[in-house]
Amino acid sequence: MARFLDVHPDNPQPRFLQQIVDALHDDALLAYPTDSGYALGCRIGNRDGRDRILKIRGLDDRHHFPLICRDFSQLGQLVHVDNAAFRAIRAATPGPYTFILPAMPEVPRRLMHPKKRTVGVRIPDHRFVQELLDLLGEPMLSSSLILPGETEPRTMGWEIKEELDHDVDIVVEAGETPAEPTTVVDWSEGYPEVLRRGAGDPDRF
């Protein structure tokens, strides 16, 4: 059964944050709120966690897994960002956007698009996520919690606990969460292409 943690949205309790980080280091799979609905997350090195996410969401190996970053400097360690992309992405983050960019050599190949060698990156504008990543000290592998047959991410922690009780290890509740997924912008060819219109304003790209 999944553990349910009711975390304060503005001042996340340090003891809960530490418990979640410890669980992630033990290869736990987390259902957590973001600025664009709930997501599933685990450590980048958790191979089993990636497969569990694919199974829950009914996806295949070609799915782009966003890497959730604490800040822009952490993002820059994972992807190549040219000058034009740098200014636009820096201005839009943190926020409800996922950017697809060429991956750095340090990114595991299993997390890249098999042909394009790209990876999705994102910096959520959410207090809990920011503090969790700060304590974790590394980016997190993630995916919107959109179940098969649905088009929007889940928004209620207790519903996720009931439905995915045996599929995830921890469910975090932390205040209201919007239902709209991120806006996805592909910048891998040197110019922005909006692949999905979501919570972030796509017109700025």
pTM: 0.93
| Structure tokens that stand for 151 in this block | 């088009």
pLDDT over 90, % of the chain: 83
Task: Give the CA angle between residues 162, 173, 125 to the nearest 5°.
Answer: 130
State CA 146 to chain mean position distance: 12
Does 39 have pLDDT greater than 90?
Answer: yes
Mean pLDDT, residues 130-158: 94
Give the pLDDT confidence of 81-117 residue by residue, as tens digits.
Answer: 998 899 999 999 999 999 999 999 989 888 888 788 9
The whole-chain average pLDDT of the chain stands at 93
- The residues, any chain, with a CB within 8 Å of residue 73's CB and separated by 6 or more, are none
The number of residues in the chain equals 205
Burial classification of residue 1, based on how many CB atoms lie within 10 Å of its CB (0-12 exposed, 13-18 middle, 19 or more buried): exposed
Q: Which residues of 130-162 are buried (b: 16+ CB within 10 A; e: fewer)?
A: bbbbeebeebbbbbbbbeeeeebbbbbbeebbe
